[in-house]
Amino acid sequence: MSASEKRPAGDPATPGTAPRPGDPWPRAVVKAAVMIVALVAGLVVIPDRLLSYLSPRVGSTARDALVLGWEVVAFVALAWAFVALQRGRR
């Protein structure tokens, strides 16, 4: 039995064939893009905005604690979102 007989004709691993309808790549790319945007927003942009807002209003200790708290909450939420998106694969 040759290699071409072992795989279905629409198998994406078969060279020279078009992807099957319902191929998971477009959905995976969208999930990855959403995660990247959420990571940059949650771990870079929002803490930067918090620093610039809180710097003239509170002391450095309170500011650092608030920003660190946000980073921890954002990291946990993003980790949960990543796991939830991975569960959808099965």
User: Does 7 map to a domain?
Assistant: no
Q: Which domain holds residue 71?
A: 26-87
User: Does 77 map to a domain?
Assistant: yes
Q: What is the pLDDT of residue 86?
A: 85
Q: What is the pLDDT of residue 12?
A: 56
Please state the pTM of the whole predicted model.
Answer: 0.67
User: Does 71 map to a domain?
Assistant: yes
User: Does 46 map to a domain?
Assistant: yes
Q: What residue ranges of the chain have pLDDT lower than 50?
A: none
User: Does 21 map to a domain?
Assistant: no
Kindly report the three-state secondary structure assignment for every residue of 9-65: CCCCCCCCCCCCCCCCHHHHHHHHHHHHHHHHHHHHHHHHHHHHHHCCCCCHHHHHH
User: Does 2 map to a domain?
Assistant: no
Number of domains in the chain: 1
User: Does 10 map to a domain?
Assistant: no
User: Does 81 map to a domain?
Assistant: yes
